[in-house]
Amino acid sequence: MLALASTGPTEFVCRKDASMQTDEKDEVFSTHNINIPKVLEDADLYFIEGKFNECVELLQNFKMVEDPEISWRLARGLYNLTKVVNKERKKTCIIDGYQLMKKALDKWPNNGAVHKWYAVLLDSYAGLQGVKERVRQCKTVKEHMLKATELNPSDATAWYMLGEWCYHVADISWHERKLAIVLFGEPPVSTFEEALRYFQKAEETEPLFYSNNLLMLGKTYYKLGKTEPALFYLQKTQLHPKNCDDDKIASNEATKLLCKLRKKSE
């Protein structure tokens, strides 16, 4: 799973000023005076800039507010923070994010973003408990991703995540699948065709929204033996603006696969 953008329009926040007096802080952070749109916009700005620690610290100040938009953004920040912190902090972030989304799911079962980030954190949380638990939860993860797209079909990142799930399940080798059956019972099943449908849906929903979606379209077409569309999307991945590490990594992977494809055609 990866750093993804928010599912809806962003909104901005009054920052906590260390120079404020205690009574001033109490006034600003009382639930009656919180400007939720400002909180959300500032959190989204931190997220877009890759300032995940600042994003998390900001949103944690408002955990007492009963609002799904704050809850899922905090979970998103915690998940992305796991990519830049040490092993112990990573574990804490995953546990905190999972527990947050588990409670959020009980409170807001009809919120697509809550289902999406519950799926992401459930997968990470299960991973902490070992391969067997991660495989056991795999189908539940997909169910919540499907629910996320059902509740918010305009969320391109949810379609992308669903496609990524299908791709990785389809990419399990025959030997790995046989071993999984012996160890864990019937493993999850998908196909590259199913993955392709979801990546296409993501691109239709929001064209060029994410370099990795272009990359995965190229990789999926490659797996299906369709060279022309594979080349097309891999080249688009290379041309995508490189605004963050994800974009650079996607471009490098696309370049390597393009070289492989071109050598085959020589």
Q: Domain 163-265 - what CATH class?
A: mainly alpha
DSSP conformation class of 186 = S
Which of 220-238 are b and which e, b meaning 16 or more Cβ less than 10 Å from the residue's Cβ? bbbbeeeeeebbebbebbb
Q: What is the pLDDT of residues 142-178, one digit of tens each?
A: 999 999 999 999 999 999 999 999 999 999 888 878 8
Distances (CA, A) of 159 to 130, 189, 244: 27, 18, 21
* pLDDT attached to residue 25: 36
Task: Give the C-alpha separation, 58 to 70, whole Å.
Answer: 10
- Give Cβ neighbours of residue 119 (< 8 Å, ≥ 6 apart): 141, 142, 144, 145, 148, 161
Q: What is the pLDDT of residues 128-137, one digit of tens each?
A: 999 889 888 9
* pLDDT attached to residue 14: 27
216 Cα distance to chain centroid: 14
Q: Which CATH homologous superfamily contains domain 37-152?
A: Tetratricopeptide repeat domain (1.25.40.10)
Contact between residue 98 and residue 109 where contact means Cβ atoms under 8 Å apart:
no
Domains 37-152 and 163-265 share a fold: yes
Q: What is the pLDDT of residues 100-113, one digit of tens each?
A: 999 999 999 999 99
* pLDDT attached to residue 243: 87
The answer, yes or no, to whether residue 262 has pLDDT greater than 70, is yes
Structure tokens, 258? 């393009």
* pLDDT attached to residue 2: 39
Q: How many CB atoms sit inside 10 A of residue 177's CB?
A: 15
* pLDDT attached to residue 177: 80
Q: How many CB atoms sit inside 10 A of residue 247's CB?
A: 17
Where residue 80 falls among pLDDT bands split at 50, 70, 90?
A: very high
Task: Give the C-alpha separation, 144 to 5, whole Å.
Answer: 18
Residues in the chain, overall count? 266
Delimit the domains of the chain by residue range: 37-152, 163-265
Q: What is the pTM of this model?
A: 0.83
- Mean pLDDT for all residues in the chain: 87
Q: What is the pLDDT of residues 5-60, one digit of tens each?
A: 333 322 222 223 223 333 333 433 445 578 999 999 999 999 999 899 999 999 99
